[in-house]
């Protein structure tokens, strides 16, 4: 046996003789790792998918080609921007228009599109790309996220989700591009801005490629209406969009999730617009000096954007304290489940109010539209609310210590980060790196935390062969 033959027979030295197979080994290892996660812990798969996406986009944004001055962007700024884009938040520590080159803005835009697909959808796609298949538990969690009737429909619905996103964003872009051309932008600049705003609005991201944001267009309905439509439909969630695709406006054929999501979203939209307009009507720093039509436009726009959109027409720091408190509540409520919106989700709000109403009436069951809501669903709703409130409280405490800013500013920025809204009083840009990292973790937790918690709780159901005696403590 020759020396070369001896080496080729030794597994320990095989890779050194055939280094071209090292990449295959690495790919196989990654594939097996993700396949194992998909089959054992869908929640962990969601964390892995978003973690890998953030790691990738942080690296891309750290490249000299991503910044206008050609320097390496500091880690805390690149990480924060990557988290904000992938978690479709919109908070920034540097100006999107002034700091990032076209390449940097393109990276942000791709991050928004990828992150907007959602944790469970992105995790399922990652598993399909790497392992070529979804495990049974992976299919179960994707089925739950997208309301698929059968496990065999999951792959088809994943394709529908991506196709639907692209089609809606294309329509929004086609509505915006002509207006930017009319306003004096050259064709390719108008195309870029139209595509950027369409993706940013449908994914509820709130990033803007203009240094002044959309403030220059505060009375331009041709731009404001598509942005509001994109944000509203994006906040409903893919399960609701699929129901609308299949059944149109036939209320009787909608499932309970679609009914609750649309109804509560409309209630919050109308109530939010009325209250925001009432509180800011005489505020000379915001809308007091505007015409009646512009005041109404601003009120509706603010109500739509506060629940997750992140675009703003007025300086958030100049609003009345009562308006900021209202904004805190709307941001915390958020949008629909499995959507691009954040917060605790409107169905969580609906379930809790229905439970309170049932308790007040003395009903044993929580019923709505001819359906009974299971006790397990209410436990998940309570867990989501408590977990969200705890995250916000702990993060606000840390930021108060780090920044020394006032409580109302810190609370506003904290809830905006947790709910992935993106509205702010510029506190993010003023924070030291430690504060930036706190907000980065909060955005990540807010984007995946409540959904992952709900999924994990749903998967922990188990048979129990015994039941302890009941004893009711005093409540209230």
pLDDT digits (tens, 9 = 90+) for 11-49: 344 343 444 444 455 445 555 555 555 555 556 666 777
pTM: 0.85
The per-residue pLDDT for 308 is 84
Q: Is the pLDDT of residue 52 over 90?
A: no
The per-residue pLDDT for 136 is 54
Residue partners of 327: CB distance under 8 A and separation at least 6: 276, 302, 306, 316, 319, 412, 423
Answer whether residue 336 is part of any domain. yes
Answer whether residue 295 is part of any domain. yes
Report percent pLDDT > 90 for the chain.
58
Q: Is the pLDDT of residue 243 over 60?
A: yes
Answer whether residue 2 is part of any domain. no
Asked if residues 261 and 347 have their Cβ atoms less than 8 Å apart, the reply is yes
Asked if residues 207 and 85 have their Cβ atoms less than 8 Å apart, the reply is yes
Q: Is the pLDDT of residue 415 over 90?
A: yes
Answer whether residue 399 is part of any domain. yes
* Residue where the block lists tokens 């020394």: 404
CA distance readout (Å), 386 to 341, 380, 393, 397, 442 = 19, 10, 10, 16, 15
Answer whether residue 14 is part of any domain. no
Q: Tell me the C-alpha distance between 109 and 115, whole Å.
A: 10
Q: Tell me the C-alpha distance between 310 and 234, whole Å.
A: 13
Q: Is the pLDDT of residue 421 over 80?
A: yes
Q: Is the pLDDT of residue 233 over 80?
A: yes
Q: Tell me the C-alpha distance between 210 and 191, whole Å.
A: 14
| End-to-end alpha carbon distance in the chain | 84
Answer whether residue 469 is part of any domain. no
335 — phi, psi (to 5°)? -120, -150
- Provide mean pLDDT across the span 283-311: 93
Q: Is the pLDDT of residue 109 over 90?
A: yes
- Provide mean pLDDT across the span 53-74: 94
SS (H, E, C) the chain: CCHHHHHHCCHHHHHHHCHHHHHHHHHHHHHHHHHHHHHHCHHHHHHHHHHHHHHHHHHHHHCHHHECCCCCCCHHHHHHHHHHHHCCCCCCCCCHHHHECHHHHHHHHHHHHHHHCCHHHHHHHHHHHHHCCCCHHHHHHHHHHHCCCCHHHHHHHHHHHHHHHHHHHHHHHHHHHHHHHHCCCCHHHHHHHHHHHHHHHHCCCCCCCCCCCCHHHCCCHHHHHHHHHHHHHHHHCHHHHHHHHHHCCCHHHCCHHHHHHHHHHHHHHHHHHHHHHHHHCCCCCCCCCCCHHHHHHHHHHHHHHHHHHCCCCCCHHHCCHHHHHHHHHHHHHCCCCCCCCCCCCHHHHHHHHHHHHHHHHCCCCEEECCEEECHHHHHHHHHHHHHHHHHHHHHHHHHHHHHCCCHHHHHHHHHHHHCCCCCCCCHHHHCCHHHHHHHHHHHHHHHHHHHHHHHHHHHCCCCCCCCCCCCCCCCC
Number of domains in the chain: 1
Q: Tell me the C-alpha distance between 354 and 350, whole Å.
A: 6
Please return the burial class of 296, using the count of CB atoms within 10 Å of its CB with bins 0-12, 13-18 and 19+.
middle
Q: What range does the domain containing 356 cover?
A: 22-459
Answer whether residue 255 is part of any domain. yes
The per-residue pLDDT for 462 is 57
Q: Kindly indicate the confidence band of residue 155, based on its pLDDT and cuts at 50, 70 and 90.
A: low
- Provide mean pLDDT across the span 66-85: 95
254 — phi, psi (to 5°)? -75, 145
Q: Is the pLDDT of residue 130 over 70?
A: no
Answer whether residue 89 is part of any domain. yes
């Amino acid at each position: 046996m020759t020396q070369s033959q001896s080496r080729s027979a030794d597994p320990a030295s095989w890779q050194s003789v055939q280094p071209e197979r090292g990449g295959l080994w690495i790919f196989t290892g990654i594939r097996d790792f993700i396949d194992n996660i998909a089959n054992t812990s869908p929640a962990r798969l969601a964390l892995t998918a978003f973690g890998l996406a953030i790691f990738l986009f942080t690296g891309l944004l750290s490249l000299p080609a991503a910044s206008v001055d050609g320097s390496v962007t500091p880690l805390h700024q690149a990480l924060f921007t990557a988290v904000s884009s992938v978690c479709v938040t919109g908070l920034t520590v540097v100006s999107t228009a002034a700091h990032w080159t076209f390449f940097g803005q393109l990276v942000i835009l791709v991050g928004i599109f990828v992150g907007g697909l959602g944790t469970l959808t992105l995790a399922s796609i990652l598993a399909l790309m790497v392992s070529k298949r979804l495990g049974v538990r992976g299919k179960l969690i994707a089925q739950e996220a997208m309301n698929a009737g059968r496990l065999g429909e999951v792959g088809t619905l994943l394709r529908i989700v991506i196709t639907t996103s692209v089609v809606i964003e294309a329509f929004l872009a086609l509505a915006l591009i002509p207006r930017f051309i009319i306003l004096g932008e050259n064709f390719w600049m108008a195309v870029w801005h139209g595509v950027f705003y369409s993706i940013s609005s449908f994914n509820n991201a709130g990033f803007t490629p203009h240094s002044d944001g959309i403030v220059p267009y505060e009375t331009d309905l041709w731009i404001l209406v598509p942005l509001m439509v994109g944000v509203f439909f994006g906040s409903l969630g893919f399960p609701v969009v699929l129901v609308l695709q299949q059944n149109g406006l036939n209320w009787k054929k909608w499932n309970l999730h679609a009914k609750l999501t649309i109804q509560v979203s409309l209630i919050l939209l109308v109530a939010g617009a009325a209250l925001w307009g009432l509180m800011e009507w005489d505020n000379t720093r915001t809308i007091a000096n505007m015409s009646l039509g512009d005041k109404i436009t601003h009120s509706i726009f603010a109500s739509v954007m506060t629940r997750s959109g992140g675009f703003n027409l007025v300086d958030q720091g100049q609003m009345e304290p009562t308006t900021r408190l209202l904004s805190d509540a709307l941001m915390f409520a958020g949008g629909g489940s499995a959507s691009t919106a954040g917060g605790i989700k409107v169905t969580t709000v609906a379930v809790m109010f229905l439970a309170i109403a049932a308790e007040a009436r003395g009903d044993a069951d929580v019923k709505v539209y001819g359906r009974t809501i299971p006790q397990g669903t209410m436990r998940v709703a309570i867990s989501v609310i408590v977990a969200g409130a705890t995250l916000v409280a702990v993060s606000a405490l840390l930021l108060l210590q780090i920044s020394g800013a006032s409580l109302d500013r810190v609370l506003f920025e904290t809830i905006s980060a947790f709910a992935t809204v993106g509205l702010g009083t510029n506190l993010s840009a003023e924070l030291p790196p430690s504060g930036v990292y706190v907000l980065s973790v909060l955005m990540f937790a807010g984007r995946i935390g409540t959904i992952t918690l709900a999924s994990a709780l749903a998967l922990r159901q188990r048979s129990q062969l015994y039941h302890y005696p009941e004893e009711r403590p005093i409540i209230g």
